[in-house]
Chain A
Amino acid sequence: MENQSNLERIYNGLLKENPIFVLAIGMCPTFAITTSAINGIGMGLATTVVLALSNLLISLIRKIIPDSVRVPIFLVIVASFVTIVQFLMEGFLPSLYDALGIYIPLIVVNCIILGRAEAYAYRNPPLLSLFDGIGMGLGFTFAVTWIGAVRELIGSGKIFGYQLLPLADLATGKAGYEPVAIFVMAPGAFLALSVLVAIMNTKRKKKGMAPLPIGCSPESCAACGNRSCVTRNSGSVKVENTAKAAQGGKSE
């Protein structure tokens, strides 16, 4: 039974509630690091490790975390694991570390991690939270690797560095694929993601769901303890009120 529900968490993160393709949270790193499939895998696995370990630790100490300061505590826990992962990467995968650069420490502000801490790990037992983290992390990895592979293929004709489409050669007049280099640069991220969101919106429409919001999606906002949602809804509600509301919701 226990085993089954652990597997269920992995399936849930990977497919049913995939953080990118279904929940549409944590889009910022998705733009930045999907320049190639291998970058996608690296960033995805780094995020998975942080997500799984921070979910586990938060769930273990969830009963002793005071409700009003939970977000700073989550931040410290997540930032500690991110620092560990950053140093491991610098030591053992220096080329990937250079390619991902500043986006590794920025895993701290990835909405998926704080979102899962708040929405799942803070309310569920450790083992389930660990598997939820692994599932969500693998779902994220799957999504960013996919997007990275598509961008790499259009932008350079390669996948995982392997030349899949033979390139055209102007000098010899050899016919072949002419890469759209803009796709592996910054503007390409916007164009690729816009097509992805358009596909997702069309699917959501068929299922009778509302299209994805233009800014951050409300689910991710609420999950991150993002105060902007609170302010947007009701003028200028204080943080204390939000904390109180959360507490009230919990005791009910």
Chain B
Amino acid sequence: MKTLIIIIISSALINNVVLSQFLGLCSFLGVSTSVKTATGMGMAVIFVLTLSSLVTSIIYKAILYPKYDYLQTIVFILVIAALVQFVEMFLKNSVPTLYRALGVYLPLIATNCAVLGVALKNVTHSYNILEGTVNGFATAVGYTFAIVIMAGIREKIDTNDIDPAFKGKPIILVTSGLMAIAFFGFSGLVA
């Protein structure tokens, strides 16, 4: 139990996937236009990342480890690409309400490097299946924190007077930098 809590705190806050690992940066910058879409994106990431960590952990432990673990990158990238497609088709046909809520965000996750990043991290930290899944979930929660906070700030930025050179992408990167400094404050939480 204690290890799980440490994994959650360290993946969601200390080593925040966007602000300190730079994974999933594209969608973080692209989708954080309003709090509503950011929340939707966050929920979709939580769903996919938890599921993909579970599936890649099982595949790694059951098939790849210890004999074929050099194939991890190749297998993971294919499994993730197929999984996201499959989730989209499954939700569309079987759970239309959930599909209506998350559907538009699913394609954005397909090429999200955070999904592959978490799968590889589970291997390098040699997490077991439960720890790996929890790590995936916690990472996605960290992503949701970051993107929702960012969206909240961006809704205010639009009305501000910004130097023309820094309008658009640069000011958002500066904001992300300041957020990253703020998230540095969590680093003392786990020894």
Contacts and interface: CB of A to CB of B under 8 A. Distances in A.
B31 A72 contact: no
B116 A106 contact: yes
B173 A216 contact: no
Given A194-B177, A215-B31, A226-B111, A32 B169 contact: no
B22 A31 contact: yes
Given A28-B23, A32-B21, A83-B73, A215 B29 contact: yes
Given A31-B22, A102-B120, A201-B169, A190 B176 contact: yes
B78 A228 contact: no
B173 A190 contact: yes
Nearest to B111: A226
A87 B73 contact: no
A161 interface: no
B93 interface: no
A105 interface: yes
Contact of B70 (A83, A182, A212): A83
B178 to A, nearest CB: 7
Contact of B74 (A27, A83, A239): A83
A211 B22 contact: no
Identify which of B23, B26, B168 gathers the most chain A CB atoms within 10 Å of its CB. B26
Contacts of A42: none
Interface residues of B, number: 48
Contacts of A108: 73, 77, 116
Interface residues of A, number: 51
B111 A27 contact: no
Contacts of B178: 187
Contacts of A72: 78, 81
B89 to A, nearest CB: 10
Contacts, number: 138
Interface stretch (A2-10, A74-82, A136-144, A148-156): A74-82
Identify which of B19, B22, B110 gathers the most chain A CB atoms within 10 Å of its CB. B22
Nearest to B177: A190
Given A106-B116, A106-B117, A187-B181, A27 B73 contact: no
Q: Is the interface of A mostly helix, strand, loop or mixed?
A: helix
Interface stretch (B50-58, B100-108, B133-141): B100-108
11 contacts: A72-B81, A75-B77, A75-B81, A76-B74, A102-B117, A105-B73, A190-B173, A201-B165, A213-B169, A231-B108, A236-B104
Interface of B: 19-23, 25-27, 29-31, 70-74, 77-78, 81, 85, 103-104, 107-108, 110-111, 113, 116-117, 120-121, 124, 165-174, 176-178, 180-181, 184
Interface of A: 27-29, 31-32, 71-72, 75-76, 79-80, 82-83, 86-87, 101-102, 105-106, 108-109, 182, 185-191, 193-195, 197-199, 201-202, 211-216, 224, 226-228, 230-231, 236, 239
Please give me the 9 A-B residue pairs with the lowest Cβ-Cβ distance, nearest first. A215-B30, A190-B177, A194-B173, A187-B180, A198-B170, A31-B22, A79-B74, A227-B107, A216-B26
Given A86-B73, A108-B116, A191-B177, 10 more contacts: A76-B74, A186-B20, A186-B180, A187-B180, A190-B177, A197-B173, A214-B30, A231-B107, A231-B108, A236-B103
